[in-house]
């Protein structure tokens, strides 16, 4: 077939040559044949087939039998009793055979989760859940069951009771099968009787409760070496973000394929000539063809970025150089796609950005095998918010549902209720799990640490107040779980998060009205009786309802409350009128603005602890940077403010001079921003009788306007 249609624009008279060339190149780039797209990049979606759209499908396998000669795919229907054979371009239905498990019908809903093809016998292995068991049956490509009744998957200990098996792929080297346990984040190889022979942990599953997104696994050979591909994501996403390649010992090779399609389930790696591909089935039945390349050099992987309490960004990653892990050349840091001017050695695996940009940025890495040599493509990105609402640390929640959270300000210990498992978990100040304490309720809800409270003339100190989700009683317990006393809250509605105001010995909670869903803040005394009318932000502000999170801020004498739009707002404690502070919690993941995304919150020094219900994690986010005492205007921190400080500030801002170790001190006018106004202010103060810098100035001290995004390091 001639390509006249592609170059036809050159025949248009009177059209500018540059426009013609641009149109032609655009058309040429988008032109596809049944097997490839010119100039496609890794992760590009080459085509999306609607052939099976509307059907519930779960997994896909490549038929290499040569019938038809170029191969085909088998796609597993989830519950309709069908298995589909489709062409290699995913656009033609070649055959339909019966699923050996049949259709899912009441009361036995047998759901199919995986399919794999074995060329030596020209048969299919089909995986389905049958009650608590996961079973595999073998069937010919004409639909005849082989070796009935198949075998039952026997997940390895200690995962047998909790395993959820997804996807299936045939190991052509060992004549075994691979599957993914999506609850325990394990990749498992099993023999053809169901006995596990290899168990691999997914990268990043540390601690083991980490939530990793993915439903697909595929076995393939890369240069004759066995490789396992797994779809992969984390708590910040609702779908897997990429497919990663592992060696058969579980070590990541660094080869990754971005998944730019939402709702991806099972997938299959395959090759057409020199072209590498992924065929992916989606939740709505569509199928996507994705470009897959192996770059040289392979970029670093498992890039993680986090914020420090002093507002710096820390990066960590894994290297994949030809010399073991280290690259022979260099590693380059990219921020928002642009180099930050720092080049690291090929062995480095961490970096601190001491002068990050305020707001949300993305970081990625490139690597070279020789100094000045070709660089790898950019690695998978990590995303970080600098300043207010930036994540300092997060940990997967050990239980099922993190309902509410509180902290002991003296020790930093954190206590979180799980209303599903009926437990209270204790963490240390670094959010490392310490253990459990007995819950006084089967469904514990709001929780608050109480430094001191007097109830019926009895003083209790260093105790916990624990509410319940199925009632309005509160129990006072000590920090090892011993019950002390009980009192009722004056409410007939749903009681959500709980917080304590120590100076007034009062409690506050979110009340959700059963009939309307409206939310209000209720304040009670130490006996649970209301001491003022319930309040909510004025209706004319048109705010979303409040979620269950509420915490008292003793520094400002205000509440911080999470709303259904994913924003934490500061409220006046008597009127609920919003105050100055407002934090968008977008950094905590996709769906942050969905109702019910968050649970309880708790102020902890200069950070806010947040329960992520949908992500099943506890986050520590920054409210304002921490730091030691400083003197306002003292850039070089010699306890004096003079012209040198103004010169150093200007050099940092405009001549790539050294960064201040205490940006808060360099911010001499205390407007929360380092800019040209700071050295100008200093000069006016020193020589032109300008105003004195704001405190702390006459001597070192704490920043009274602490809620800005400038931190200060210890000297």
Q: Which residues of 435-471 are buried (b: 16+ CB within 10 A; e: fewer)?
A: eebebbbebbbbbbbbeebebeeeebeebbbbbbbee
**How would you list the strands of the sheet with 617-622, edge to edge?**
391-396, 617-622, 607-612, 598-604
Q: Both 398 and 274 in a single domain?
A: no
Q: Is residue 32 part of a domain?
A: no
Q: Structural domain of residue 361, as residue ranges? A: 301-387
Smallest CA-to-CA distance from 329 within 305, 296, 302 is with: 296
> CA-to-CA distance for 380 and 257, rounded, in angstroms?
9
Query: pTM (2 decimals)?
Result: 0.82
Residue 341, Ramachandran bin (φ over 0: left; ψ between -120 and 50: alpha; else beta): left
Domain count, the chain: 4
Q: Is residue 20 included in any domain, yes or no?
A: no
Tokens linked to 440: 């006084």
Q: What is the CATH number of the domain that holds 417?
A: 2.120.10.30
Please say which residue of 366, 387, 408 terminates a domain: 387
Contact between residue 89 and residue 97 where contact means Cβ atoms under 8 Å apart = no
Q: Which phi and psi angles does 68 have, rounded to 5°?
A: -70, 170
Q: For 447-451, which contacts have Cβ atoms below 8 Å and span 24 or more sequence positions? A: 447/404, 447/405, 447/406, 447/415, 447/416, 447/417, 447/498, 447/600, 448/406, 448/498, 448/499, 448/500, 448/507, 449/406, 449/407, 449/408, 449/409, 449/415, 449/500, 450/476, 450/500, 450/502, 451/409, 451/502
Question: Dihedrals φ, ψ of 14, to 5°?
Answer: 80, 5
Query: Which one of 568, 591, 622 terminates a domain?
Result: 622
328 and 223 in a single domain? The answer is no
| Whether 415 contacts 464, CB under 8 Å | yes
Looking at the structure, tell me whether residues 136 and 281 fall in a common domain.
yes
Residue 9 lies in a domain: no
| 257 domain residue, yes or no | yes
Listed residue (306, 311, 307, 360) closest to 661, CA to CA: 311
**Integer CA distances (angstroms), 54 to 127, 142, 238, 279, in order:** 21, 24, 21, 18
CATH of the domain at 310: 2.60.40.10
Task: Specify if 192 maps to a domain.
Answer: yes
| The pLDDT of residue 588 | 94
Based on the fold, state whether residues 505 and 550 are members of the same structural domain: yes
Does residue 11 fall inside a structural domain?
no
Q: Is 357 helix (H, G, I), strand (E, B) or coil?
A: coil
One domain for residues 608 and 513: yes
Both 205 and 69 in one domain: the answer is: yes
Let me know whether 535 and 616 are in one domain: yes
Phi, psi of 338 (to 5 degrees): -120, 140
332 inside domain: yes
* Whether residue 267 is found in the same domain as residue 161: yes
Question: Could you tell me the end-to-end alpha-carbon distance of the chain, in angstroms, rounded to an integer?
Answer: 73
Q: Are residues 369 and 517 in the same domain?
A: no
My answer on whether 414 and 487 are in the same domain is: yes
Contacts of 2 (CB under 8 A, 6+ apart): none
- Claim to verify: residue 462 and residue 336 sit in the same structural domain: no
Distances, alpha carbon 561 to alpha carbons 329, 390, 519, 553, in Å:
50, 17, 11, 11
Read off the pLDDT of residues 95-135 as tens digits, 9 standing for 90 and up. 999 999 998 776 667 899 999 999 999 999 999 998 889 99
Question: Could you tell me if 312 and 662 are in contact, meaning their C-beta atoms sit under 8 angstroms apart?
Answer: no
Residues 562 and 674 in one domain: no
Per-residue exposure over 104-141, b if at least 16 CB sit within 10 Å of its own CB, e if not: beeeeebebbbbbbbeeeebbbbbbbeeeebbbbbbeb
Which residue, 330, 353, 387, sits at the end of a domain? 387
Q: Please identify every stretch of the chain with a pLDDT value under 50, giving residue numbers as ranges.
A: 1-37
CATH number at residue 633: 1.10.1330.10
Asked if 137 and 129 touch (Cβ cutoff 8 Å), the reply is no
Question: How far apart are the C-alpha atoms of 320 and 648, rounded to whole Å?
Answer: 40
Q: Which residue's entry shows tokens 């040569």? A: 66
**Residue 38 in domain:** no
């Amino acid at each position: 077939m001639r390509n006249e249609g592609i170059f036809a624009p050159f025949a248009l008279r009177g059209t500018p040559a540059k426009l013609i060339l641009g149109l032609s190149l655009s058309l040429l780039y988008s032109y596809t044949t049944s097997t490839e797209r010119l100039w496609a990049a890794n992760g590009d979606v080459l085509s999306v087939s609607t052939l099976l759209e509307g059907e519930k499908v779960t997994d896909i396998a490549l038929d290499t039998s040569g019938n038809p000669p170029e191969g085909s795919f088998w796609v597993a229907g989830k519950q309709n009793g069908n298995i589909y054979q489709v062409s290699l371009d995913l656009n033609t239905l070649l055959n339909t055979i019966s699923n050996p498990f049949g259709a899912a019908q009441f009361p036995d809903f047998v759901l199919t989760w995986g399919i794999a093809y074995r060329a030596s016998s020209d048969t299919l292995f089909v995986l389905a859940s049958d009650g608590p068991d996961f079973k595999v049956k073998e069937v010919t490509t004409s639909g005849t069951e082989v070796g009935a009744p198949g075998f039952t998957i026997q997940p390895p200990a200690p995962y047998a009771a909790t395993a959820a098996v997804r996807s299936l792929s045939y190991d052509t080297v060992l004549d075994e099968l691979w599957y993914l346990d999506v609850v325990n984040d394990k990749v498992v190889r099993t023999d053809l009787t169901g006995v596990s022979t290899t168990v691999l942990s997914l990268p990043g599953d540390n601690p083991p409760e980490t939530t990793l997104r993915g439903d697909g696994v595929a076995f393939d050979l890369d240069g004759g070496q066995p490789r396992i591909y797994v779809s992969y994501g984390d708590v910040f996403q609702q779908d897997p973000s990429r497919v990663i390649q592992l060696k058969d010992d579980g070590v990541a090779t660094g080869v990754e394929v971005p998944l730019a399609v939402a709702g991806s389930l099972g997938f299959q790696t395959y090759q057409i000539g020199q072209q590498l591909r992924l065929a992916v089935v989606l939740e709505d039945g569509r199928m996507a063809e994705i470009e897959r390349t192996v770059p040289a050099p392979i970029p670093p992987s498992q890039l993680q970025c986090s914020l420090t309490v002093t507002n710096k960004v820390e990066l960590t990653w894994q290297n994949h150089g030809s010399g073991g892990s280290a690259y022979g050349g260099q590693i380059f840091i990219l921020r928002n796609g642009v180099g930050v001017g720092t080049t690291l050695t090929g062995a480095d695996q961490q970096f601190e950005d001491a002068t990050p940009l305020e707001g949300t940025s993305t970081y990625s890495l490139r690597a070279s095998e020789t100094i000045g040599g070709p660089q790898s493509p950019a690695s998978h990105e990590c995303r970080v918010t600098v300043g207010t609402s930036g994540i300092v640390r997060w940990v997967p929640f050990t239980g099922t549902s993190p309902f509410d959270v509180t902290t002991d300000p003296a020790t930093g210990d954190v206590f979180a209720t799980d209303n599903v498992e009926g437990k209270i978990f204790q963490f240390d100040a670094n959010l490392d799990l310490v253990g459990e304490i007995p819950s006084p309720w089967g469904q514990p809800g709001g929780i608050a640490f109480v430094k001191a409270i007097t109830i019926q003339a009895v003083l209790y100190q260093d105790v916990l107040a624990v509410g319940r989700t199925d009632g309005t009683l509160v129990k006072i317990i000590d920090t090892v779980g011993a019950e002390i006393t009980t009192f009722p809250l004056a409410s007939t509605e749903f009681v959500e998060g709980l917080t304590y105001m120590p100076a007034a010995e009062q409690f506050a909670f979110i009340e959700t009205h059963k009939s309307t869903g409206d939310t209000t803040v209720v304040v009670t005394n130490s006996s649970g009786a209301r001491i003022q009318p319930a309040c909510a932000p004025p209706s004319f502000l048109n705010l979303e309802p409040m979620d269950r999170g509420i915490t008292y801020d003793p520094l400002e004498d205000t509440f911080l409350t999470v709303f259904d739009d994913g924003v934490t707002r500061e409220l006046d404690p008597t009127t609920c009128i919003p105050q100055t502070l407002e934090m968008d919690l977008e950094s905590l993941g996709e769906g942050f603005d969905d109702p019910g995304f968050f649970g309880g919150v708790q102020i902890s020094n200069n950070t806010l602890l947040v329960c992520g219900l949908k992500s099943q994690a506890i986050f520590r986010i920054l409210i304002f940077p921490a730091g030691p005492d400083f003197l306002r205007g003292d850039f070089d921190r010699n306890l004096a403010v003079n012209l040198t400080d103004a010169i150093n500030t200007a050099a940092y801002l405009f001549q790539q001079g050294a960064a201040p170790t205490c940006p808060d001190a360099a911010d001499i006018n205390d407007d929360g921003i380092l800019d040209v106004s700071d050295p100008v202010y200093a000069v006016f103060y020193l020589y032109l009788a300008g105003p004195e810098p704001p405190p702390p100035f006459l001597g070192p001290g704490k920043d009274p306007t602490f809620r800005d995004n400038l931190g200060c390091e210890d000297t």
